[in-house]
Amino acid sequence: MNRIRLHDIYLKGMVVKMADNLVIVESPAKAKTIGRYLGKNYKIVASVGHIRDLPKSQIGVDVEKDFEPKYITIRGKGDVISGLKKDAKNSKRVFLATDPDREGEAISWHLATILNIENDAKCRVSFNEITKNAVASAIKAPRKLDMDLVDAQQARRILDRLVGYKISPLLWRKVRKGLSAGRVQSVSTRLICDRESEIEAFVSEEYWSVQVKLAKQKQRAAFLAKFYGDENGKKRELKTKEETDALLEAVKGGAYRVRSVKESEKRKFPAPPFITSTLQQEASRRLNFQARRTMSVVQQLYEGVNIAGLGLTGLVTYIRTDSTRISQEALTESARYITEKYGAAYLPKSPRVFANRNAAQDAHEAIRPSHFDLDPERVRASLTNEQFRLYKLIWDRFIACQMEAAVYDQMSVDIISNAKLFRAVGSKIKFKGFTAVYEEAADDDGSEKEGDGDGESRLPELAEGEELDFREILPNQHFTQPPPRYTEATLIRALEEKGIGRPSTYAPTITTILARGYVEKEKKAIFPTELGKAVNQIMTQHFADIVDVAFTADMEKKLDDVEEGQKAWRALLHEFYDGFEKVLKTAEEGIGDVELPDEVTDVLCEKCGRNMVIKMGRYGKFLACPGYPACRNAKPIVEYAGVNCPKCGAQIVYRKTKKGKKYIACENSSACDYRSWDLPTKDVCPICGKFMQKSSWGGKNARAHCCDELCPNGIPKKPETAKAPGTTEDPKTAGEAIPAEGKASSAGRASSGGKAPTTGKKRKK
């Protein structure tokens, strides 16, 4: 607890404790971390996020009065506000130290309003990193509230409220209750639907490749050369088997001779340090983190983690940034670290400076470590597994961005056989440079990122005119593939490239469209549901501007103009709403009731014999009888694991807890209590032949074990046998998210009606 200097002030016979300075931040964790750096004259308290917002029960914007917002105290924040008022009254000076962005500036403005702090008072402090120097410097130089930032936040908030609260009720009436629309979420859904349409319309085309396996004369080691074209050097594609057969015939029995050898040195440069969007993308690709998970963990690293021997310490700089700018202090510290750790050869002659993208907000630095004496291994014991992995990713990326380029020796060899040109390319690393620390991962869509495709592929020493031994020719048939579905990483990249939304909006946007049932994920791929397609069709037909990529990107540019003081926020709202209001009236009249077709399954209803259909309920999809209300049969969708129960021999099925955590259980749950967090692998136990499982704890080092705990190769000892890591859920007593038979949902179909049933007896240890 922070020590504060107290003044005894006698008021109505009571002693009032007065602090010299009050510092207000958003979160308790941030308050505790800052408390380490400020002295006894400061009291640090948290507002716990926003304290005022537009009401949920109504639109909260008076369009007739120049879009005047109606802010109310957020439910449950009454005691917080009372405490803040009391602390402010008992302090000589108040500092508002919320996050250094639009949202943080707006929170400070709302705080200033309820605490009766004048707008021109120098009460605002902001810092890019929570370190002693940064916090102390900010406190020494407070500024006035930046009303341009506040107005940009208000404009965005009201725009989103107008779109959401005007279109969503229309969707409720015309399609289904519980739906929503939004500036960013609707465009995101459109991108996913458009990509699915491209995939469905794609017509695959045949093509062929031909490789020849060759070797130096009298040597065993072989290498591959790929057909390139005719001897004149013009590239030629092989479209059919007939063309390929003609090539094979043309080179049959021919000699292979080296025509030219080109050797060169290739330099590859590191990727820029992380900004919010690239961190989300790379964490998805490399760590398999969802965007919201990434933002949750990195928020912890920013606000402060309890480091052994140090206490609460912020490990990374501010996490919502569009800028790749790096402070001089960080450049100096990283240069010192690289020299000491890797040697002077790994440090460039001058620090690397990376250009920001268009519309980048340069108010903050890139995401980087805050303390260069706290490398990941030093703090590993103080971090959770998720925190360590993400911190190491940020650390490695930043250190690598200030290192020398990697150098490769590259060889390209042209080989002629009967007037046909084959080409072999090989490379070997000459100097690792930044790749000794980090290389950017590839997207799941197969597109190459910087850092891909440069593994070593050595060729033997070859000379012009040298004749080679022929070993084998390898023709291969291929078919062109449709564009890949979006993953979280590639969707975020697309939104960023098209200028839609801001990095802080990507994670909640993806969460929202998944929660609404507009899209689903299969492994990492995101695809639209029938509901998503129907809503997108309505939006594209009747609200074309809202889902237009260019229109939405232009709106983001106008919001940036407001932030920079170049445009009035109310004028922006007028420009948008005057046309939007007309579109709303037309849509209300033009949209008919939308009937969504049910997905019919081959599962027969055991009560009436109809084919059951898939419905969406409170806990997700379930099977329901289409004969409702005459037949109210409903049951969960069963996903079989493809293995048999080690106890009774029945089939094993996948199930989920109420919180969505996956586990396995015996299908015959009424008679058999087998269930486990540890999911099956493709392997079988070499001792007893039953299926193997991957331990749910231990991360990458988790070992596989036999499902039969009586087998010598059975279940290993866990830190906490009954609990899943990071939760208090028990797979032996967890509630299943299945519909309660006979309950009717608001949509008029059987669905889960309240608490999910428990799964029976506990398994014996």
Check which CATH number belongs to the domain holding 177 and give it.
1.10.460.10
At residue 8, the pLDDT reads 36
At residue 598, the pLDDT reads 73
- Name residues whose C-beta falls within 8 Å of residue 82's C-beta, 6 or more positions apart in sequence: none
Q: Which of 316-320, 450-454, 674-678 is predicted most confidently?
A: 316-320
Packing angle of the helix pair 549-563, 183-201 (nearest 10 deg): 150
Are the CB atoms for 406 and 431 separated by under 8 Å? yes
Query: Nearest Cα to 599, choosing from 662, 533, 650?
Result: 533
Return the sign of the alpha-carbon dihedral for residues 239, 242, 246, 247: positive
State whether 262 and 350 are in the same domain. no
What Cα–Cα distance (Å) separates residue 250 from each residue in 224, 255, 419? 19, 11, 9
Query: Among 590, 617, 648, where does a domain finish?
Result: 590
> CA-to-CA distance for 130 and 136, rounded, in angstroms?
10
Q: One of 71, 302, 318, 518 is an active-site residue; which one?
A: 318
Q: What are the tokens at 232?
A: 């004149």
H or E segment to which residue 513 belongs: helix 503-515
> CA-to-CA distance for 442 and 372, rounded, in angstroms?
28
- Measured at the CA of 537, the angle between CA 532 and CA 540, to 5 degrees, comes to 120
Supply the CATH number for residue 323's domain. Answer: 1.10.290.10
State whether 264 and 413 are in the same domain. yes
Q: What are the tokens at 249?
A: 């015939």
At residue 702, the pLDDT reads 67
What Cα–Cα distance (Å) separates residue 388 from each residue in 226, 541, 647, 728? 43, 47, 38, 22
Give per-residue pLDDT as tens, 237-262.
999 999 999 999 999 999 999 999 99
State whether 377 and 258 are in the same domain. no
- Could you give the dihedral angle defined by the CA atoms of residues 717, 721, 727 and 732, in that order, rounded to the nearest 10 degrees? 140
Query: Among 542, 566, 590, where does a domain finish?
Result: 590
At residue 420, the pLDDT reads 95
Give per-residue pLDDT as tens, 393-425.
999 999 999 999 999 999 999 999 999 999 999
pLDDT at 4 over 70: no
Buried b (16+ CB within 10 A) or exposed e, 173-194: ebbbeebbbbbbbbbbbbbbbe
> DSSP letters along 298-326, please?
HHHHHH-EEETTTEEE--B--S-------
In the chain, pLDDT over 90 holds for what percent of residues?
Answer: 54
Cis preceding-peptide flag for 636 (omega within 30 of 0): no
State whether 255 and 126 are in the same domain. no
Please report which confidence band the pLDDT of residue 35 belongs to, taking 50, 70 and 90 as the band edges.
confident
Total structural domains within the chain: 4
For residues 256 and 594, which has the higher predicted lDDT (pLDDT)?
A: 256
Q: How many CB atoms lie within 10 A of CB 328?
A: 8
What Cα–Cα distance (Å) separates residue 326 from each residue in 321, 398, 640? 12, 10, 51
pLDDT at 726 over 60: no
Q: What are phi and psi of 421, to 5 degrees?
A: -100, 130
Distance of CA 526 to the CA centre of its chain: 12
Please indicate, yes or no, if residue 21 is contained in any of the structural domains. yes
The half-sphere exposure of 511 on its side-chain side, counting CA atoms within 13 A, is: 13
> CA-to-CA distance for 568 and 154, rounded, in angstroms?
11
Please indicate, yes or no, if residue 535 is contained in any of the structural domains. yes
State whether 30 and 134 are in the same domain. yes
| pTM of the entire predicted model | 0.77
Distance of CA 50 to the CA centre of its chain: 24
Annotate 584-630 with three-state secondary structure. HHHHHHHCCCCCCCCEEEEEECCCCCCEEEEEEECCEEEEECCCCCC
Please indicate, yes or no, if residue 730 is contained in any of the structural domains. no
Average pLDDT rounded to a whole number, residues 218-236: 91
Query: Among 145, 162, 192, where does a domain finish?
Result: 145
pLDDT at 306 over 80: yes
Q: What are the tokens at 737?
A: 């998210």
State whether 210 and 291 are in the same domain. no
Please report which confidence band the pLDDT of residue 40 belongs to, taking 50, 70 and 90 as the band edges.
confident
State whether 282 and 315 are in the same domain. yes
> CA-to-CA distance for 30 and 20, rounded, in angstroms?
20
> CA-to-CA distance for 603 and 608, rounded, in angstroms?
12
State whether 241 and 329 are in the same domain. no
Partners of 264 in the β-ladder: 410
Supply the CATH number for residue 42's domain. Answer: 3.40.50.140
Query: Nearest Cα to 640, choosing from 603, 610, 609?
Result: 603
Annotate 247-281 with three-state secondary structure. HHHHHCCCCEEEEEEEEEEEEECCCCCECHHHHHH
- Measured at the CA of 544, the angle between CA 542 and CA 545, to 5 degrees, comes to 130
State whether 230 and 346 are in the same domain. no
At residue 13, the pLDDT reads 37
Please indicate, yes or no, if residue 598 is contained in any of the structural domains. no
Are the CB atoms for 608 and 631 separated by under 8 Å? yes
> CA-to-CA distance for 491 and 484, rounded, in angstroms?
11
Partners of 656 in the β-ladder: 662
Return the sign of the alpha-carbon dihedral for residues 198, 449, 128, 373: positive
Please indicate, yes or no, if residue 216 is contained in any of the structural domains. yes
Give per-residue pLDDT as tens, 494-525.
999 998 988 888 999 999 999 888 999 888 89
State whether 130 and 48 are in the same domain. yes
pLDDT at 3 over 50: no
Please indicate, yes or no, if residue 189 is contained in any of the structural domains. yes
State whether 583 and 522 are in the same domain. yes
At residue 698, the pLDDT reads 57
Residue numbers of the domain that contains 341: 276-401
Are the CB atoms for 335 and 372 separated by under 8 Å? no
pLDDT at 434 over 80: yes
At residue 358, the pLDDT reads 52
Under DSSP, is residue 176 helix (H, G, I), strand (E, B) or coil?
coil
318 is catalytic: yes
Supply the CATH number for residue 231's domain. Answer: 2.70.20.10
Please indicate, yes or no, if residue 56 is contained in any of the structural domains. yes
Please indicate, yes or no, if residue 725 is contained in any of the structural domains. no
State whether 133 and 75 are in the same domain. yes
On the 0-12 / 13-18 / 19+ scale of CB atoms within 10 A, 110 is buried
At residue 159, the pLDDT reads 93
Q: Hey, what amino acid is at 670?
A: S
DSSP letter, residue 695: -
> CA-to-CA distance for 326 and 354, rounded, in angstroms?
9
On the 0-12 / 13-18 / 19+ scale of CB atoms within 10 A, 29 is buried
> CA-to-CA distance for 549 and 545, rounded, in angstroms?
8
Query: Nearest Cα to 626, choosing from 604, 646, 658, 593?
Result: 604
Per the prediction, the chain carries an average pLDDT of: 84
Give per-residue pLDDT as tens, 75-113.
999 999 999 999 999 899 999 999 988 999 999 999 999
